Amino acid sequence: MGEHDGYLLGMTPGEVARLADQHEVWRERTTRLWTLAGVAAGQTVVDLGCGPGFTSLDLAGLVGPAGRVVAVDASKTAIAQLARALGDRAIANVIGVEGNAGAIDLGVWSPDVVLSRWLFCFLPDPAAIVRRIADALAPGATLAVMDYAHYLAVDTQPSAPIVRRVFRAVYDSWADAGGSLDVAGLLPTHFDAAGLRVIAVESLSQAGGPGSPVWRWVSTFQRLYLPTLVEKGYLTEDERAAMGEFWASLEADPGALFFAPPILGVVGRK
Ligand X SMILES: C[S@@+](CC[C@H](N)C(=O)[O-])C[C@H]1O[C@@H](n2cnc3c(N)ncnc32)[C@H](O)[C@@H]1O
Q: How far is the CB of 146 from ligand X (least distance, A)?
A: 8
Contact set with ligand X (CB under 6 A): 5, 7, 19, 23, 49-51, 54-55, 73-75, 78, 100-102, 117-119, 122-123
Report the 10 Å Cβ neighbour count for 145. 30
Nearer to ligand X, 91 or 242 (CB): 91
Q: Which residue's C-beta sits nearest to ligand X?
A: 51
3-state secondary structure of 26: helix
Q: Which residues pair with 267 in a beta bridge?
A: 144, 200
Cα–Cα distances in angstroms (integers) from residue 21 to residues 8, 209, 219, 230, in the given order: 18, 17, 12, 24
**Residue 74 or 194 with smaller CB distance to ligand X:** 74
Considering the complex, what minimum distance in angstroms separates the CB of residue 25 from ligand X? 11
Q: Of the two residues 174 and 247, which places its CB atom closer to ligand X in the complex?
A: 174
What is the closest distance, in whole angstroms, from the C-beta atom of residue 127 to ligand X in the complex? 14
Pairing state of beta strands 113-117 and 44-48? parallel
Question: Shortest distance, CB of residue 33 to ligand X, whole angstroms?
Answer: 11
Strand, coil or helix: what is 131? Answer: helix
Is 11 or 250 the residue whose CB approaches ligand X more closely? 11
Cβ closest to ligand X, residue 101 vs residue 130: 101
- The three-class DSSP label of residue 208 is strand
Distance of closest approach, residue 230 Cβ to ligand X, in angstroms: 21
**Sheet with strand 257-259: strands edge to edge:** 155-157, 257-259, 207-208
Alpha carbon distance 183, 227 (integer Å)? 25
Distance in angstroms (rounded) separating the CA atoms of residues 69 and 26: 20
